[in-house]
Amino acid sequence: MEIRSAKISDALAITNLVGQLGYPAELVSIESRLSILLSNHDITVFVAVVDEQVVAWMQANYSMSLETDYGVEIIGLVVDNQIRGQGVGAALIREVVTWARKKEAGFLRVRCNVLRTESHLFYQKNGFTLRKEQKVFDMVL
């Protein structure tokens, strides 16, 4: 397995994985978003490659807020459902920890839907501690 930075040419595989996560999207949308994300040095997108196939991706953002100082938040992480449980997600976590330390972040955070109980166990197994639960409110613009 290889963990590397994503490339635009990974967009089709990422599109398929985004669908597995429950957010179906068009290839053109993922290509556009990925292009923007890859141009921002405070955002990283990693992919995991097995047998020359992208089997997982993770996006993490480095940011600062008034109440928490500098940190990195995992915005999305999905491993192909055919290979979950084989250490791919853990490898992505290790890679983002390295990236966050280089950015001198004080913490690594991930938010997870309350319904994704397997994900909760995965994150706890990989060193995360549950800090709080919250509701998310959106406003369509």
For the chain, the domain total comes to 1
Q: Is residue 82 part of a domain?
A: yes
Q: Is residue 107 part of a domain?
A: yes
DSSP annotation of 139 reads: -
Q: Is 108:96 a contact under the CB 8 Å cutoff?
A: yes
Q: Is residue 60 part of a domain?
A: yes
Q: Is residue 89 part of a domain?
A: yes
Regarding predicted confidence, which is higher, 116 or 30? Answer: 30
pLDDT of residue 19: 95
What pLDDT digit, counting tens, does each position of 48-83 carry?
Answer: 999 999 999 999 999 998 888 899 999 999 999 999
Q: Is residue 16 part of a domain?
A: yes
Q: Is residue 56 part of a domain?
A: yes
Give the CATH number for residue 69: 3.40.630.30
What pLDDT digit, counting tens, does each position of 21-57 carry?
Answer: 889 999 999 999 999 999 999 999 999 999 999 999 9
Confidence of residue 114 (pLDDT cuts 50, 70, 90): confident
Q: Is residue 129 part of a domain?
A: no
